[in-house]
Chain A
Amino acid sequence: MALRAQTGPYFGDFGGRFVPESLVAALDELGEAYDLAKLDPAFGAELAELGRSYTGRPSIITEVPRFAAHAGGARVILKREDLNHTGSHKINNVLGQALLTKRIGKTRVIAETGAGQHGVATATAAALFGLDCVIYMGEVDTERQALNVARMRLLGAEVIAVTAGSRTLKDAINEAMRDWVTNVETTNYIFGTVAGPHPFPEMVRDFQKIIGEEARQQVIDLTGGLPTAVAACVGGGSNAIGIFHAFLDDTDVALYGFEAGGEGVDTERHAATITKGRPGVLHGARSYLLQDDDGQTIESHSISAGLDYPGVGPEHSWLAALGRANYRPVTDDAAMQALRLLTRTEGIIPAIESAHALAGALELGRELGPDATILVNLSGRGDKDMDTAARYFELYDQENPE
């Protein structure tokens, strides 16, 4: 069977639905609504029109030769999801799930967010469709992504800072699941990545796979052939699966996911789930997981809030187990250097998340040599990260002495 044809609930040994019984009816309802929507040309047409006239699809590709000069001479081509409305790939999924919310007649949506990009996208869709919206965000992330908190509030969403546990993305997901268990009759959970219980990994992938479908043809049109390698950052893994999916059965195209290596994978401060974790159950699915011997989740660390997650989507675990995709860590510093390099050489400021994929591409280019073509998913723009970058590179005139 073609790898692209794989559907949930299981991807090999991974996936499933490890959830409280209280959520099963809602997951079934969502899955059935999605299965019907997939077959309904009107749903596809409505989503495609939103993509065209609201998101700005298709997103362009941009070849970046001045950046590529630092990548062993390989050609580097960026898929510009940063140019989407709301500034990242997250809107692709959110518009699909918001349309489904309307179909199943619910009036309230909730979402978790790490960097705030999924929260902003959800708040945007809620404004567009007139839905009540509550966003759960770890308190640590509300501080480092304060601009996105303000954006969500301006869009009319209620942002709840989660103070439990590590106060980051995983705890925001826990709190959103508690809300959903309690309010499931009125509320749809717009999940932001390809993790979680079935049907989310399959459904979110399907809403994101347009990235790779467009990019595959765009690269062929530009270069006359398929890329040598495709690179993307991986937290939960939605932008990566989005760009990988169209290439899964192109066996000559190497796929690379770059995980957040934080301060180094030999330290305790990283989020390199596939590199350093082992299979376990978190947030409703069996997948790779950073955990201790007792199965307690280990807190992850990344300078990038969007990658600061100790789990990963089950389809990535499956692709890793099959050897179809390769997963490597990229440190905080390598990502920040790549962020500055792309900015200085090409005038494009990437999100810190996406900068992990850029750092990975620099490494890959040097390995693959000048004949290689590397397609990189530039999944988001860096506006939200200006404060982090300004402190990292000491760009403010003077630090507040507080």
Chain B
Amino acid sequence: MNTVGSVIRRRNDEAAGALIGYLPVGFPTFDESVEAAVALVENGVDILELGLPYSDPVMDGPVIQAATQQALANGFRLTDGFEAVRRITERVDAPVLIMTYWNPVVQYGVDRFADDLVAAGGAGLITPDLIPDEGAAWIAASERTGLDRVFLAAPTSTEARIRQVVDASRGFVYAVSTMGITGARSDVDRAARALVERLTAADAPASCVGVGISTAAQVAEVLAYADGAIVGSALVNALAQGGIAGVGELAAELARGTRAE
């Protein structure tokens, strides 16, 4: 079975590293979001990060905010997230992580959420507003179910916090490339390289860099030092502008960045 960890290792053996693609569930419609996620994998994305739309997404920039607000206006429910995971994992064998703000998980019930995610075939959670300090319930639920848990590390994290994040994470550590929210940037910050070096020194299982990556050249640049590159806003934008064909084309283009060694 493909796990997040095994896919990252394999892609680092056979290529420069893993490409991780983000799309929100329910944008532009539920069915199209499933088709778009499948298209990502068919065009070279190694691991999927499915975002659950949330009313107060403080880590997200304008592109993802607009998409998730539309999904909420269309009537997105949390159970749609599990259904999307189920449909995608039936069709492609890439691991699927859910990216969610914390309150929806709390309200659904942390254990119930973990059980339903396992049942749907999901691989784990990326939690942008949950730090390990507040994560006891989730750490217990993911230990019980074997789900991966991806915590974030930032350039401003102290050494003690880097160690805490590394110890708490399973699958990979999400290295926030620059100080900021999601959104394509012309230059991926140099801070990312230093952060990945610190994570590696702390024995991180793997370090994947996100926030600000939008081109194949940036994917290649990041994979020169990191285990994976995470692309979000650029894919959402491609889906909004060019539909499923458009997002597939961008995925194929980004995947070329994983081949340059």
The interface of chain A, by Cβ under 8 A from chain B, is 16-22, 24-26, 28, 164-165, 170-171, 174, 177-178, 181-185, 280-284, 289, 291, 293-297
Contacts and interface: CB of A to CB of B under 8 A. Distances in A.
Contacts of B82: none
A201 B78 CA distance: 30
B153 interface: yes
A19 B107 contact: no
Interface stretch (B3-11, B125-133, B242-250): B125-133
Contacts of A170: 56
A293 B107 contact: yes
Contact of B134 (A17, A178, A185, A295): A17
18 contacts: A17-B134, A18-B129, A18-B134, A19-B129, A20-B129, A20-B154, A20-B176, A21-B161, A21-B176, A164-B65, A178-B59, A182-B180, A282-B56, A289-B103, A294-B77, A294-B108, A295-B103, A295-B107
Given A17-B131, A20-B152, A295-B104, 15 more contacts: A20-B59, A21-B152, A22-B154, A22-B156, A22-B179, A24-B156, A174-B57, A178-B59, A182-B179, A185-B156, A185-B179, A281-B103, A289-B103, A294-B77, A296-B55
A294 B157 contact: no
Given A174-B58, A295-B107, A181 B130 contact: no
Nearest to B72: A296
Interface residues of B, number: 38
Nearest to A294: B78
Contacts of B12: none
B229 to A, nearest CB: 19
What 4 A-B pairs have minimum CB-CB distances, sorted nearest first? Answer: A295-B107, A25-B156, A295-B104, A182-B180
A266 to B, nearest CB: 22
Nearest to A279: B106
Nearest to B60: A178
Most buried by A among B54, B55, B72, B107: B55
B181 interface: yes
A interface, over-half SS? mixed
B69 interface: yes
Given A21-B157, A280-B103, A280-B106, A181 B180 contact: yes
Contacts of B161: 21, 24-25
Contacts of A165: 55-56, 69
Contact of A280 (B65, B107, B165): B107
Contact of B176 (A22, A283, A293): A22
B30 interface: no
A22 B65 CA distance: 19
A83 B151 CA distance: 47
B74 interface: no
B154 A283 contact: no
Given A280-B107, A293-B107, A181 B65 contact: no
A17 B133 contact: yes
A24 B55 contact: no
B56 A283 contact: yes
A164 B151 CA distance: 27
A21 B151 CA distance: 8
B225 interface: no
Interface in B39-72: 54-59, 61, 65, 69, 72
Nearest to A25: B156
A25 B105 CA distance: 25
Given A18-B129, A19-B131, A21-B176, A294 B57 contact: no
Nearest to A20: B59
B156 A184 contact: yes
B241 interface: no
A215 B249 CA distance: 67
A152 to B, nearest CB: 23
A181 B179 contact: yes
A26 B154 CA distance: 12
